[in-house]
Amino acid sequence: MTGHRKISPIVAWGLLVLLSAGAFVGLIEPALLTYRSEEVSLAARARVLGYGLAMVARTSEIEARIHAVEVGIGSARLVAGSGAVAGAALQSLVKDKAGHAGLAVDAIFPMDPLDATEAVPEIVRLRLRASGNLAATQAFLHGLEMGVEVVAIDLMSVTTTSAAGLGQLEVDVTVSAPVGG
């Protein structure tokens, strides 16, 4: 005999299956995983692109809001003939914003004496105490900041107490606004 041995068909098929599995695990599976990760990455990039396109579509709206804010700064004022009228106008404005936001107004205190005979002050200030939940507080602050009137938040304190109930906040805000005659 010359030394050549025949391999049984069962062993040959077993070796073929092992070689095929090795080729799949070593070559084909990493290529599929790379393809899947690229597919996920492309989906994420498409989502970010969609957000960007939405912002581009709103460009004119955003520019108009920026322009309105720039024009409003320094020019928007409470119009009043006296300090008392200016204080009352600010009280009404702040109380309305708090009510629309869902805050319960506990008290409003003028920070300056309100004299009907006094000349028109440059600035009026007041302190508001109210209660409500976090969403109402956020809506109130947003309403003050985004309103046509220029109302500055000078001081703010937000606390929660056990007496206020779960999720209830006590809000103490001092605001001011410029006055024009």
> What whole-number distance in Å separates Cα of residue 156 and Cα of residue 128?
10
In this prediction, residue 71 has a pLDDT band, given cuts at 50, 70 and 90, of very low
Q: Name the residue with higher pLDDT: 117 or 91.
A: 91
Q: Cβ(15)–Cβ(8) under 8 Å?
A: no
CATH code for the structural domain at 77-180: 3.30.70.60
Residues 127 and 109 sit within 8 Å (Cβ to Cβ) = yes
Bigger pLDDT: 158 vs 164: 158
Through-space distance between the first and last CA atoms of the chain, rounded to whole angstroms: 121
Q: Which of 37-41, 81-85, 119-123, 148-152 has the highest mean pLDDT?
A: 37-41
**Range with top average pLDDT, 10-19, 48-57, 99-108, 143-152:** 99-108
- The top-scoring range by mean pLDDT among 10-14, 76-80, 101-105, 174-178 is 101-105
Show the CA angle centred on residue 27, arms to residues 24 and 33, nearest 5°.
Answer: 90
pLDDT at 68 over 60: no
- What is the mean pLDDT of the segment spanning 81-89? 74
CB 136 within 8 A of CB 103: yes
pLDDT for 8: 82
Predicted TM-score of the model (pTM): 0.53
